[in-house]
């Protein structure tokens, strides 16, 4: 279904409700530059670091598309678990899982409170940016504690520039991208207002420094387009 959520006046802040869930896959493809390529990289490096009987968590798994793609790429028996606190997203995810006869498990949960088991890989795509800054590092520390030695935390985030002028250019570049995907200036403005104070991005350096403070030995960007970046942090 095509995303037309913001072609009407907004009445509330952005939330992952049934209206968003119904168009979420289209929204991702048209709102996140090179989303398909970034997710392909994420799947590649996740598969590389999973072993027989291993475990992977996807935090904020939404409709489980990435988990299903990882499962298709695997030749091993691995536990793939998606966590999300939005029932509407998980409803869409379970429909896909059933349709594909998948073994992927999705759980309605608060990722800040969930009781994690040891894992080889943790994924988080455009999820940290929705965690309030005072507790964001707490979650990253929890992820670090969950991972096996040399485990991978692969995460994608919207980022801001430390240079104000450049940051404005990056935002303008992104809005031009959205217009090329068929979004009107009105839709772009409406979504921006809905996300105000809900999505709070860090700089690239802040994300890397946070990972290092939480016990990751290395963290770097493996893909970036303007103000969107994919990171790998190694335990």
Reported as a single tens digit per residue, the pLDDT across 199-233 is 899 999 999 999 999 999 999 999 999 999 999 99
Sign of CA dihedral 29, 67, 143, 48: negative
d(Cα 156, Cα 47) in Å, to the nearest integer?
Answer: 17
Reported as a single tens digit per residue, the pLDDT across 115-160 is 999 999 999 999 999 999 999 999 999 999 999 999 999 999 999 9
| Prediction pTM value | 0.89
| CA angle, residues 107, 200, 1, in degrees to nearest 5 | 55
Report the percent of the chain where pLDDT is more than 90: 76
Query: In 3D, which of 58, 108, 53, 59 has the Cα closest to residue 85?
Result: 108
d(Cα 128, Cα 94) in Å, to the nearest integer?
Answer: 23
What's the first-to-final CA gap in the chain, in angstroms? 39
d(Cα 181, Cα 177) in Å, to the nearest integer?
Answer: 7
Domain map (residue ranges) of the chain: 18-160+199-224
Residue 116 confidence (pLDDT):
98
Reported confidence tier of residue 3, pLDDT bands at 50, 70, 90: very low
Provide CATH code, domain 18-160+199-224. 3.40.50.150
Report residue 81 CA to chain centroid gap: 14
């Amino acid at each position: 279904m095509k995303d037309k959520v913001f072609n009407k006046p907004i009445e509330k802040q952005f939330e992952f409700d049934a209206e968003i869930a119904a168009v979420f896959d289209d929204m991702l493809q048209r709102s996140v530059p090179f989303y398909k390529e970034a997710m392909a990289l994420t799947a590649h490096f996740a598969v590389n670091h999973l072993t027989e009987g291993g475990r992977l968590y996807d935090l904020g798994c939404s409709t489980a598309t990435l988990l299903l793609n990882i499962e298709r790429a695997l030749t091993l028996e691995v536990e793939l678990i998606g966590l999300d606190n939005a029932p509407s997203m998980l409803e869409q995810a379970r429909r896909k899982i059933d349709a594909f006869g998948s073994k992927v498990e999705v759980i309605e949960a608060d990722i800040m409170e969930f009781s994690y088991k040891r894992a080889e890989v943790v994924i988080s795509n455009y999820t940290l940016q929705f965690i309030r800054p005072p507790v964001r590092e707490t979650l990253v520390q929890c992820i670090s504690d969950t991972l096996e030695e040399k485990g991978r935390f692969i995460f994608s985030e919207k980022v801001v520039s430390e240079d104000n002028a450049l940051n404005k250019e990056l935002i303008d570049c992104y809005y031009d991208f959205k217009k090329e995907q068929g979004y009107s200036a009105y839709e772009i403005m409406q979504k921006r207002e809905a996300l105000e104070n809900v999505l709070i991005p860090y700089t690239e350096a802040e994300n890397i420094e946070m990972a290092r403070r939480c016990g990751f030995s290395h963290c770097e960007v493996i893909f970036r387009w303007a103000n969107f970046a994919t990171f790998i942090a190694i335990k």
